[in-house]
Amino acid sequence: MRMPPAPLPRRVAAEFTGTAALVAVIVGSGIRADLLSGDLGVRLLGNAAASAIGLGLLIALLGPVSGAHLNPVVTLSAWWDRRREPGGDGGREVLAYLAAQLAGAVGGALLAEAMFGRAPGGSWPAGPAASPHLLLGEAVATAGLVLVVRGPARVGRPGLAPVAVAGYVGAAIWFTSSGAFANPAATVGRSLTDSFTGIAPASVPAYAAAQFLGLLLGTGLAGVLYGTVRAGAEPEPAPARRTG
């Protein structure tokens, strides 16, 4: 039997807290990696491991409360699947989730900077630039994330979601050219840190556009592979990703 959904304010609080924690893990592990090693591969390995483990834990803890979206891409993907269901919060819930995720991402980045004694806004990150091959990497990473988020519930194994999503994110950090931000809110947060995980503020719009393109591609491919969700069908839990 499914538990009744938590009240919207509690779900929004979970999205804010979870997104803040996720971005704090991503940015904080990047700052720590900068401090401990000058080897790019070692820094990437440490950041990928911390990000994947942190994301998996957050999905497991917050999934029963809000779905643990932690990512506008996941929220919009879930809304698209459930848009015809009666009795939902609809646009009100989507807007509340998106606002909480964006605020949480900014707060998480500033928290990570403060934990390491770095003044917020002391210097702006210089890269990466919005090069075409990096934007292609972002679109691929985001499309894959949508598939992995939807997959466990669609094949009848929703309990695998924390491991599946965390494992995919850890892998995508390595196999995509962009490092798999795959999260518009986290991308905004990462524009506030001049560290290993930072992104130039001027690159944020292009990265976000690539991520939303990935959302469309992933949604279409999920429909081909898994079929569409019928109105009134049991809704899927929809956890989400880093990244960024």
What are the tens digits of pLDDT across the range 10-39?
999 999 999 999 999 999 999 999 899 888
Question: Which H or E run includes 108?
Answer: helix 91-115
pLDDT at 152 over 60: yes
For residue 42, pLDDT over 50 is answered with yes
Mean pLDDT score across all residues of the chain? 87
Q: Which sequence spans correspond to the domains of the chain?
A: 8-226
**What is the percent of the chain where pLDDT is above 70?**
85
Per-residue confidence band for 87, with pLDDT thresholds at 50, 70 and 90? low
Residue 153 banded pLDDT, cuts 50, 70, 90: confident
Q: What pLDDT is stored for residue 227 in this prediction?
A: 78
Answer for the pair 178, 135: CB distance below 8 angstroms, yes or no. Answer: yes
Burial 14-33 (b: 16+ CB within 10 A, else e): bbbbbbbbbbbbbbbbbbbb
Mean pLDDT of 109-127: 80
The yes-or-no verdict on residue 155 having pLDDT over 70 is yes
With a cut of 60, say whether residue 234 has pLDDT above it: no
> What's the pLDDT band for 86 if we cut at 50, 70, 90?
low
Determine the Cα–Cα distance for residues 128 and 206; give it in Å rounded to an integer: 11
Q: Which CATH architecture has domain 8-226?
A: Up-down Bundle (1.20)
Task: Find the mean pLDDT for residues 172-186.
Answer: 95
pTM given for the model: 0.87
Q: What is the pLDDT of residue 118?
A: 87
Cβ–Cβ < 8 Å for 166, 53 = yes
48 pLDDT higher than 80 = yes
